[in-house]
């Protein structure tokens, strides 16, 4: 797949991705989020996986390295901004380790989702066509 090839359902995939971003932000800012894993440090794994899913999703949509780099920076900034907002909210708190886990998730997806894994949506669209 060349960098310039667009997905047939590009708009739908982007809308789903924005929905995922919105869900992550809402869950990060509500006073009592649903509980997930329950062991020492498990929240760091949840942070990392949440941002890995976001980065992985958008890597499926955008193949251009410069666009991917911008998305990685934007998601890393989002993760830090969410931590700041948690600190300002009075119910939850700012945690540098959570921000680092968010950024680690972005890097994890970038590392794992190299070809052919960075083209799963493209292959799905071709299979459905």
pLDDT of residue 20: 98
pLDDT of residue 36: 76
Residue 15 within a domain: no
Residue 25 within a domain: no
What average pLDDT does the segment 62-68 reach?
Answer: 91
Residue 4 within a domain: no
- Over the chain, what is the mean pLDDT? 90
The confidence band for 4, taking pLDDT boundaries of 50, 70 and 90, is: very low
What average pLDDT does the segment 3-27 reach?
Answer: 89
Q: Which helix (H) or strand (E) holds 47?
A: helix 42-61
**Burial degree of 21 (CB within 10 A; 0-12, 13-18, 19+):** middle
pLDDT of residue 33: 77
Residue 21 within a domain: no
Collapsed DSSP state (helix, strand, coil) of residue 7: coil
The confidence band for 5, taking pLDDT boundaries of 50, 70 and 90, is: low
Each residue of 70-79: b (16+ CB within 10 Å) or e? ebbeebbebb
Stretch among 36-40, 71-75, 91-95 having the lowest mean pLDDT: 36-40
Enclosing domain of residue 49: 42-128
Residue 69 within a domain: yes
Residue 2 within a domain: no
Residue 5 within a domain: no
Quick: pLDDT tens for 18-35. 999 999 999 999 988 777
Residue 17 within a domain: no
Structural domain count, the chain: 1
């Amino acid at each position: 797949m060349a960098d310039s090839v667009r997905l047939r359902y590009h708009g739908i995939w982007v809308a789903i991705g924005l929905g995922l971003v919105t869900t992550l932000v809402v869950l990060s800012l509500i006073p009592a989020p649903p509980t997930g894993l329950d062991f020492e440090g498990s929240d760091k794994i949840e942070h990392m996986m949440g941002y890995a899913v976001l980065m992985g999703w958008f890597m499926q949509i955008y193949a251009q390295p410069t666009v991917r780099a911008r998305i990685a920076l934007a998601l890393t900034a989002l993760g830090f901004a969410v931590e700041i907002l948690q600190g300002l909210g009075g119910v939850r708190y700012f945690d540098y380790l959570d921000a680092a886990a968010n950024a680690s998730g972005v890097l994890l997806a970038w590392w794992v989702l190299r070809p052919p894994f960075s083209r799963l949506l493209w292959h799905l669209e071709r299979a459905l066509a």
